[in-house]
Structure 1
Amino acid sequence: MLTNLWYVAEWSKTVKDKPVKAKLLGQNFVLYRDKTGKVHCLSDVCIHRGGSLSNGWTTERNCVACPYHGWEFDAEGKVQFIPSRGEGAPIPERARIDAYPTEERYGMIWVFLGDLPESERYPIPEFPEYDDKANWRPVSLEFTWKGTVDRVVENGIDIAHTAFVHPGFGYREMADKNKILEVERGDYWGRSSNVLYPPQLQGNFGLLKFFRKDKAATHVTPSFYLPGHCVRLQIKVNSWMEMIIFDANTPVDENTTRSFAVQVRNFFKSPIFDKGSIKRTSKVFQEDADIVEALSPNYLPETLEHEVSVEQDKFMSAWRMIRRKHIEMGWKIDTRAMKAFEGEKVFTIPSPARRTNPHLKWALETVPLVEGNSASAAEVGTQGGIPQVESA
């Protein structure tokens, strides 16, 4: 699990007038809205006696109050009121918890979990079709995996598996005909262009079968983004029909991933077709989960030493290399080091305020990170086995 990235914490519609608990990167957070409707995110622990702020309430001070002793924390994580001391009483300087930047996009609440200044953060992935309601019809769904986020993302960009895992997308006998045409990658993203030969379309009351013939060449473009651990899958059904599945994959903990998915389509835009779209997309997620949750090992191997890869795996290699680069940059949480303190110590993700206020003696310790290697990170970023653009 990596820090210093944007992640989706919750759907926007879920956070209303009461605080909401969210678990990301193995840590608990509280989300709440102030009087203007702005969403804020704080560590979900009161540094007084360990109360869970998500079980509290919002106050007239635009704070979230601890249900144990009523301490009120503002949007920056600072305590503004201690009831037992009364109005106007001084507040200890250490009476604060970590607060994290938030954005609301695509019906989701994004939280930046790290201490990088704004100028150094990777951006939230673009999804312009979501707001183009005149041309695209969106539907949303959620899926929880009993699997690591790295495996989930890799599965989402793997075209070769469709011929075996998804009967609606491929034939086994066509596996050698499906081709990667081009691979591109940047510092935190990758994209590949592919041609597949899937079965005739099904669904939408039998209407879809008239719009693509059996085994007709179909262009599919999967992309991945390190921020949000997002996967974007664009499918060009025919010359005028397209659909896009955009999912942000949040590591709840080491072995649990929560996918926030939005599918948009530029055809059959009436709401009567939404239920079918959600059903088919959910079926695809479940087909993938049946495979991903049974993979050995559970974690993504750090090297290819114990695996055998072929040319058709090169796009997944791009994902692994970019992930590896950021591990070497020192962004990976050392979960093994934390296990020794399970139930005894509360850790927190370092926030931007920690970097700008190094003099403060914070009550909570930050999560330990795996030691990086800047030289290795640079080598992985510039070499890594495939060039920036590779044609098949």
Structure 2
Amino acid sequence: MLTNLWYVAEWSREVKDKPVRVKLLGQNFVLFRDKTGKVNCLSDVCIHRGGSLSKGWTTERDCVACPYHGWEFDAEGKVKFIPSRGEGAPVPERARIDAYPTEERYGMIWVFLGDLPEEERYPIPDFPEYEDSDNWRPIELEYNWTGSADRVLENGIDISHTAFVHPGFGYPEMADKNKILKVDRGEYWGSSDNVLYPPQLSGNLGLMKLFRADKAATNVTPSFFLPGYCVRLHIKINSWMETIIFDANTPVDENTTRSFAIQARNFFKWRIFDFGAKKRTTKVFGEDGAIVSELSPNYLPETLEHEVSVEQDKFMSAWRMIRRKHIEEKGWKIDTKAMKPFEGEKAFTIPSPARRANPHLNWALETVPLVAPIRSSAPVQEEETPEPELA
């Protein structure tokens, strides 16, 4: 699990007039709206006696109150009022918890979990089709995985598995015909152009079978983004029909992932077709989920040393290398092994921008330990996907 990235914490519609608890990167957080409607995010640990702020309430001071002793925390994580001391009483400078930047986009609440200043943060991925209601019809769905977010993201960009896992998208006998045409990548993203030969379309009262013949060449472009652990899958069904699946894959903990997904289509945009679209997309997630939950090891291997890869795996290798660079060069990976001996004995928190800006404060909560970056002048070496092994 990586820090210093944007993650989706919850659907916007789920945070109203009461605090809401969410779990990300193995830690609990509280979301609450202030009087302006803005969503705020704090660590869900009161530094007085460990109360859960998400079980409290919002106050006239635009704070969230702890249900244990009523301490009130504002949007910056500072305690504004201690009831036992009375109105106007001073508040210790140390009485604060970590607060995290938030944005609402695509009907989702995004939270930046890290201490980087704004100018150094990777951006939230673009999804322009979501706002283009004249040409696209978006529907929301959610899926919960038993599997690490690293594995979930890799599954989402793996085109070659479709011939075996998804009967509606591929034939096993066509596996060698499906091709990666091009791979592009940047510092925190990657994209590949592919051609697949899927079965004839089905659904929508039988209308879909009229729009793509069996095994017709179909252009598919999967993309990944480190912020949000996002996958964008763009499928060009034919010359005028397209669909996009955009999902943000939030690491709840090491082996649990919550996917916030939006499917957008530029055809049959009437509400009557939403149910079928959601049902088919949920079925695809379920087919993937059954595979990912059984993968061994549970977590993504750090190198290709203990796996055998072929040329069709080069896009997944691009994802793995970008991830590795942020672990080995930037040191953003949470060291969950170092935390296990303190489970139930010590509360941790993700470091926030305010913590970096105020290093002189004696913060009450300890930050999660991070895996130390590899101190070397040489950058992470490219992991070239090998040529197929021959018998």
Compute the TM-score of the two structures, normalised by the length of structure 1. Answer: 0.97
Partner residue in 2 for 1:154: 154
Contact 1:325 1:377 in 2 (8 A): no
Partner residue in 1 for 2:188: 188
The 1:181/1:324 distance shift into structure 2, 3 A limit, reads same
> Is the partner of 2:176 in helix, strand or coil?
coil
Contact 1:198 1:218 in 2 (8 A): yes
Partner residue in 1 for 2:35: 35
Distance apart, 1:373 and its partner CA: 1.8
Partner residue in 2 for 1:362: 363
Partner residue in 2 for 1:19: 19
Structure 2: distance between partners of 1:360 and 1:125: 34
Structure 2: distance between partners of 1:374 and 1:158: 32
> Is the partner of 2:342 in helix, strand or coil?
coil
Contact 2:324 2:380 in 1 (8 A): no
Residue type of the alignment partner of 2:122: Y
> Is the partner of 1:129 in helix, strand or coil?
helix
Residue type of the alignment partner of 1:385: E
- CA deviations on 1:51-95 (whole Å, 9 max, x unpaired) are 000000000010000000000000000000000100000000110
Q: Which runs of 5+ in 1 are unaligned?
A: 387-392
Structure 2: distance between partners of 1:108 and 1:188: 21
- CA deviations on 1:321-379 (whole Å, 9 max, x unpaired) are 00000011100000000000000000000000011001000000000000102537733
- CA deviations on 1:173-225 (whole Å, 9 max, x unpaired) are 00000000000010000000000000000011111000000000000000000
> Is the partner of 2:376 in helix, strand or coil?
helix
Partner residue in 2 for 1:390: none
Distance apart, 1:384 and its partner CA: 3.9
> Is the partner of 1:7 in helix, strand or coil?
strand
> Is the partner of 1:142 in helix, strand or coil?
strand
Structure 2: distance between partners of 1:377 and 1:59: 52
Structure 2: distance between partners of 1:374 and 1:102: 32
1:310 maps onto 2:306 in alignment: no
Residue type of the alignment partner of 1:60: E
Contact 1:56 1:64 in 2 (8 A): yes
Structure 1: distance between partners of 2:49 and 2:166: 50
Partner residue in 2 for 1:293: 293
> Is the partner of 2:240 in helix, strand or coil?
coil
Structure 1: distance between partners of 2:290 and 2:45: 35
Partner residue in 2 for 1:345: 346
- CA deviations on 1:125-180 (whole Å, 9 max, x unpaired) are 00000000110000000000010000000000000000000000000000000000
Distance apart, 1:252 and its partner CA: 0.1
Alignment of structure 1 residues 43-54 onto 2, 5 Å: 43-54=43-54
Structure 1: distance between partners of 2:107 and 2:167: 31
Q: Which runs of 5+ in 2 are unaligned?
A: 386-391
Contact 1:166 1:284 in 2 (8 A): yes
The 1:12/1:44 distance shift into structure 2, 3 A limit, reads same
Structure 2: distance between partners of 1:226 and 1:6: 9
> Is the partner of 1:6 in helix, strand or coil?
strand
Structure 1: distance between partners of 2:12 and 2:380: 40
Structure 1: distance between partners of 2:286 and 2:333: 28
Partner residue in 2 for 1:10: 10
Contact 2:224 2:230 in 1 (8 A): yes
CA RMSD of aligned residues (A): 0.9
Partner residue in 2 for 1:140: 140
> Is the partner of 1:344 in helix, strand or coil?
coil
Would you say how many aligned residue pairs link Structure 1 and Structure 2? 384
Partner residue in 1 for 2:388: none
